[in-house]
Structure formats: C-alpha cells, structure tokens
Structure 1
Amino acid sequence: MGIFDRFKDQAKSKGKDMSDAGEREINEKTGNKYTDQVDDAQQKIEGSMGMDREPTDRPDQP
C-alpha cells in the first residue's frame, strides 16, 4: 500500500466520522423526528462521495 492509499483511507475514515457526527447532531436538534430522512440523505451524500457503507458498517441508530 502506497502513501497516497493510506492518506485516502484516512480521509475516508475521517469523512465517515464527520458524517456520523453530523447525523447525530441533526437528529438531536430535531428530537429524532426525521431520523429516516436524515439517514437516507447521509447515505446518498456518502455514496456520491464514494464512501458507500455496508449495512454492518452503520452505527447504531437511537
């Protein structure tokens, strides 16, 4: 694995962490009223950025 591959993996991991944090923040501010819509939007955004996840990679939803 080259150095650029490691940077790419680290950036992807950091992006997923930030995406999860954003999802938690939005759900908290909306009182978990729009959890399904927020999750769908998060998946679409991550997919368009090449950060697709397997269902087992998803963090537990409240």
Structure 2
Amino acid sequence: MSMLDKIKGMLKGHEDQAKQGVEKAGDFVDQKTQNKYSGQVDTAQEKLNEQIGGTRPPTDEAGR
C-alpha cells in the first residue's frame, strides 16, 4: 500500500475538511510570497483536491 493510499484512508469521511486545509495552506503561501507563485499554488491545490476526492468541488476562490 502506497503512502498516498494510506493518507486517503485516513481522510475518508473528512474530505471537505481536508480540502479546506488545502485552501488555507495555499492562501497562506500566496500571502507569504505576495502572490508571486499564485498560478503554481492554484495548480497544486487543484491536484491535491483531485487526489482527496469527495463530494463537493473546491471552495470559491473569490477571496483572492
């Protein structure tokens, strides 16, 4: 079993909370880098959210 499979198992049932954490972490990085790498951060957030799965799409990015 890969590390990713283990993490997915631990997150099962908590996908929404994990996605919120991904969004907060991305916002933190954007803030610290003064949005210099916002495109790369957004891409990483999207890929992480795809891996997490779940039932609802990622949160609205209007706050950026």
Q: TM-score if structure 2 supplies the norm length?
A: 0.65
Farther-moved stretch of structure 1 (23-32 vs 45-54): 45-54
CA–CA distance in structure 2, aligned partners of residues 15 and 36 of structure 1: 21
Q: Percent identity?
A: 25
**In 2, Cα distance between equivalents of 1:37 and 1:12:** 22
| Richer in helix (by share) | 1
Opposite residue 24 of structure 2, the aligned amino acid is A
| Unmatched runs of 5 consecutive residues or more in structure 1 | 1-6
Report deviation, 1:13: 1.5
Return structure 1 stretches of 4+ with deviation > 3 angstroms: none
User: How many residue pairs end up in the alignment?
Assistant: 52
Corresponding residue for residue 29 of structure 2: 26
Any gaps of 5 or more consecutive residues in structure 2?
A: 1-11
Q: Secondary structure at the match of 2:61?
A: coil
